[in-house]
Amino acid sequence: MKIARMNKGSWGKLRAFFDLKTSDGFIIKGFKIVEGINGLFVGMPSTQNKEGEYYDSVLADKELRDELEKIAMRAYGQDSVLNDNSEDKPLSEEAEMEGSTSSAEEVKNEEFSDDDIPF
């Protein structure tokens, strides 16, 4: 898994939108980083029903959610934004010192359209 695109900002409690690219090549759109009472957390893509209630449209077990949260928080905390061409480059000086060349936290900052906002 890696972050395909992230748009940081401040929309109420919403801090970022991002898309996730799986190892199989699927891109899942509509993940959110939200500021809650216990800090930041990752919100899954959701759909609104006829009664106005939201429910997750992507389900994941606890282990997968934890991994996704680590990847998303690292990408959100980055000062620099990486391009698609930098897949094999370290994410930061800290990652370089650790010898990590993983592209799992890769971020591409593109403008989102109104269609990307799930509410």
Read off the pLDDT of each residue in 69-85 and give the average, rounded to a whole number. Answer: 69
Give the domain ranges of the chain: 2-109
Read off the pLDDT of each residue in 36-51 and give the average, rounded to a whole number. Answer: 92
Question: Is the CATH code 3.30.1120.40 the one for domain 2-109?
Answer: yes
8-33 pLDDT tens trace: 998 999 999 999 999 999 999 999 99
98-114 residues labelled b (16+ CB within 10 A) or e (exposed): eeeeebbbbbbeeeeee
Taking 60 as the threshold, does the pLDDT of residue 76 lie above it?
yes
Taking 80 as the threshold, does the pLDDT of residue 48 lie above it?
yes
Taking 50 as the threshold, does the pLDDT of residue 107 lie above it?
no
How many CA atoms within 13 Å lie on the side-chain side of 36? Answer: 7
Tokens 């606890």 map to which residue?
62
**What is the percentage of the chain residues whose pLDDT exceeds 90?**
53
